[in-house]
Structure 1
Amino acid sequence: MNGNRSDSATQASVFGSVHLGYVVVQSNRLSDWRRFGADAIGLHVDALDRDTARFRLDDRACRFLVQRGPAEDVVALGWQIDDHEAFDRIIARVTDRGVPITEATPEQAVLRGVERLWRFAGPKGIVQEIFTVPVTTSEPLRMISTGWVTGEAGMGHVAILSREPEAMRAYYDTVFDSRLSDYIDENISGLKMKIRFLRVNERHHSIAIANIRGVKVDPIRTRVQHINIQSATLDDMLDSFQRVTDLGFRMQWSVGQHTNDRELSYYCMTPSGFELEVGWNPIVVGPELESTWEPTTYQGISIWGHKPVADTVLTKFAQFRQALATVRTPEITVPQLAGGMSR
């Protein structure tokens, strides 16, 4: 294809047609994941076999896919594209810039509960997957929670720490026409960060990028810092907080309210070592707000709460040891889709 292609079909915006559809996790701790998902968080869990589990939040066949493997991390993000025209537009953007893109195997699509699935490289080595049609099921949900908010806002959001934040933002601008919702300036344990919040639909943000440029080591081992899902009711969110605590899973941040999207939430540690944020009632950037939205910079992540749960000396040491492994490892970027931005 012509690398300088600029026809109207490619350039037309796909904003509003993109929704976070599912998350793929690789882990050897499937029994812990099943207990964490079903008994603590309150999700519907389908154990397909000893090496594969899927979690449901709604009528979709899959929202979390956990497959046996050593990464203990999120390895792919699945994005639903509303129509074939927007889907083809995204494929053209990727291929025109020389980034390899491959059609998934039928087996991969079936596991994810989707049709027309394509995969290409993403920042920090997280594969980006796009699909058009999700597989739904009439099988009743078997879960403790009463429900989760998905729909036009997608299933939630992903937050990533980055030493290449400009490149990451440019990547999602190029691929999905993301829009900046706002910034937060925060200081966590002496680490000063400016966090960018990007939206691709009515959800206040589907991608959060915490700027750690200049930091020689990535302070966390995992590619993502957290994944967010949204409870349907405040009681659901608070009840799951209590279950996580009672069942002995590690709580990271207590219940609090964010400054920018006003979501009430808590953060706990998944069996794979990245965090899960369970939230309730964030701001929705609907058509009226969208037409007048102006990005704002907020000081601090939280209005109240979100207090860190004390780490032991051994936990701190383990985190430091993991971080040392990234000292000489450059962060993975996809410069062709980020306007050439990367060091």
Structure 2
Amino acid sequence: MSDHPLVDPSESVYGAVHLGYLVVHSQRLADWHRFGALAIGLHTDRPDADTLRFRLDDRACRFLIRRGTAEDVTALGWHVDDHETFDRILARVSDRGVPIQEGTAEDCALRGVERLWRFPGPKGIATEVFTAPITTDEPLRMLSSGWVTGEAGLGHVAIVSREPEFMHAYYRTLFDSRLSDFIDENVSGLKMKIRFLRVNERHHSIAVANIRGLKIDPIRTRVQHVNIQSATLEDMLAAFGRVTDLGFRMAWSVGQHTNDRELSFYCVTPSGFELEVGWNPVVITPELDRAWTATTYQGISIWGHNTVAPSPLDKFDQLRNVVARLRTPEITVPELIGSTGK
């Protein structure tokens, strides 16, 4: 059965929301500069000693790296098409008693937006919404020939969750997200189920993974990976070569996914979460959307995506993270979950 919105279509914000930017806090700005500019091939700006920004297109900022101790993604910025839709989203938040904070002038300038509002998100990742991104005519200085953004947004974010139903419901309540499909995967003997949620024509802007029957989060970072989309296959493969040549750790080799058919590779960022660089995923056009039926795929990849073995130190850190998370409840936003129906 098609995944229909849970609200009156006239009230739905689906299709008018796009992942705009992400914020990372890190002490490793020099490593991030080398990773982003020389390995991935992004345009890099350095506004000050504590700030690094990456551009992929005419937007002033797509990645904001700020000096901080988290070594993680701390906020996701969502571009909303118009003020009417923006007001509808903020009303959903405020009507449920969730605190909303307006971003400062400095916050907005760093992110390349005119105004923004911030409120809590799952796993402690702040949700930021804005309507007016700042664009620039400054030519892009980058090794890549281009990236696919536009109506599909920046890319997608994948999150491992011990409370996946709460996270699904959060994005359904907030953005009228729709289910694209599921993937069942077996990783090192653990059965994992991943749900892929879309908010526009991109096959998914949020992927939520949980390990069935095991209430643990095996990774330290709040996000498992972030995805960006190369304009050409040659760009994607060239980035793979540069990442390898410069000594950054590869997580998964080049392969093709079962559900969205994207060709991609995964590498490890200086902050420890992964970056997926992909090419040519399925686009869910309005015609496809109307008839879309969620499917469950067995396995993440049709071919490739071979895992690159972690070092013994990496394995020890992973075990330590698992033990720590067994004692720490996962952050949820119960006011914004509505129904947690599967």
Q: TM-score, normalised by structure 2?
A: 0.96
Q: Which amino acid aligns with 1:273?
A: G
How far apart are 1:76 and its partner, in Å? 0.1
Give yes or no for contact 1:162–1:213 (8 Å, CA) kept in 2.
no
| Map of 1:71 onto structure 2 | 70
Q: Which amino acid aligns with 2:20?
A: G
Percent of residue pairs identical: 74
Alpha-carbon separation, structure 1, partners of 2:124 and 2:150: 27
Name the SS for the 1:76 alignment partner.
Answer: strand
Task: Please show how residues 134-283 of structure 1 align to structure 2 within 5 Å.
Answer: 134-212=133-211, 214-283=213-282
| Map of 1:108 onto structure 2 | 107
| Map of 1:17 onto structure 2 | 16
Alpha-carbon separation, structure 1, partners of 2:232 and 2:339: 43
Alpha-carbon separation, structure 2, partners of 1:188 and 1:145: 33
Give yes or no for contact 1:165–1:213 (8 Å, CA) kept in 2.
no
| Map of 2:309 onto structure 1 | 310
Moved more, 322-331 or 332-341: 332-341
Alpha-carbon separation, structure 1, partners of 2:302 and 2:223: 24
Unaligned runs of 5+ in 1: 1-6
Give yes or no for contact 1:182–1:296 (8 Å, CA) kept in 2.
yes
Alpha-carbon separation, structure 1, partners of 2:313 and 2:182: 33
Q: Deviations over 1:46-87 (max 9, x none)?
A: 011111000000000000000000000000000000000000
How far apart are 1:314 and its partner, in Å? 1.9
Name the SS for the 1:115 alignment partner.
Answer: coil
Alpha-carbon separation, structure 2, partners of 1:190 and 1:13: 40
Name the SS for the 1:289 alignment partner.
Answer: helix
Give yes or no for contact 2:193–2:212 (8 Å, CA) kept in 1.
no
Name the SS for the 1:325 alignment partner.
Answer: helix
| Distance verdict in 2 for CA 1:179–1:41, change over 3 Å | same
Unaligned runs of 5+ in 2: 1-6
Alpha-carbon separation, structure 1, partners of 2:338 and 2:312: 42
- CA RMSD between the two structures: 1.5
Alpha-carbon separation, structure 1, partners of 2:323 and 2:144: 39
How far apart are 1:212 and its partner, in Å? 2.7
| Map of 2:3 onto structure 1 | none
How far apart are 1:8 and its partner, in Å? 7.8
Alpha-carbon separation, structure 1, partners of 2:296 and 2:224: 21
| Map of 1:328 onto structure 2 | 327
How far apart are 1:191 and its partner, in Å? 1.8
Alpha-carbon separation, structure 1, partners of 2:319 and 2:46: 34
| Map of 1:4 onto structure 2 | none
Q: Which amino acid aligns with 1:62?
A: C
Q: Which amino acid aligns with 2:303?
A: W
Alpha-carbon separation, structure 1, partners of 2:311 and 2:90: 47
Alpha-carbon separation, structure 2, partners of 1:129 and 1:156: 16
Give yes or no for contact 2:255–2:305 (8 Å, CA) kept in 1.
yes
How far apart are 1:215 and its partner, in Å? 2.3
Give yes or no for contact 1:185–1:194 (8 Å, CA) kept in 2.
yes
Q: Deviations over 1:299-342 (max 9, x none)?
A: 00000000000112221112111222111101110011012759
Q: Which amino acid aligns with 2:111?
A: R
Give yes or no for contact 1:262–1:281 (8 Å, CA) kept in 2.
yes
Give yes or no for contact 1:93–1:175 (8 Å, CA) kept in 2.
yes
Alpha-carbon separation, structure 2, partners of 1:336 and 1:138: 41
Q: Deviations over 1:210-238 (max 9, x none)?
A: 02354243100000000000000000000
Alpha-carbon separation, structure 2, partners of 1:292 and 1:299: 22
Q: TM-score, normalised by structure 1?
A: 0.95
Name the SS for the 1:134 alignment partner.
Answer: coil
Q: Which amino acid aligns with 2:132?
A: V
| Map of 2:4 onto structure 1 | none
Alpha-carbon separation, structure 2, partners of 1:226 and 1:316: 18
Q: Does 1:39 align with 2:25?
A: no
Task: Please show how residues 61-100 of structure 1 align to structure 2 within 5 Å.
Answer: 61-100=60-99
Give yes or no for contact 2:191–2:212 (8 Å, CA) kept in 1.
no
Alpha-carbon separation, structure 2, partners of 1:159 and 1:8: 28
How many pairs are equivalent?
A: 335
Alpha-carbon separation, structure 2, partners of 1:207 and 1:189: 24
| Map of 2:289 onto structure 1 | 290
| Map of 1:3 onto structure 2 | none
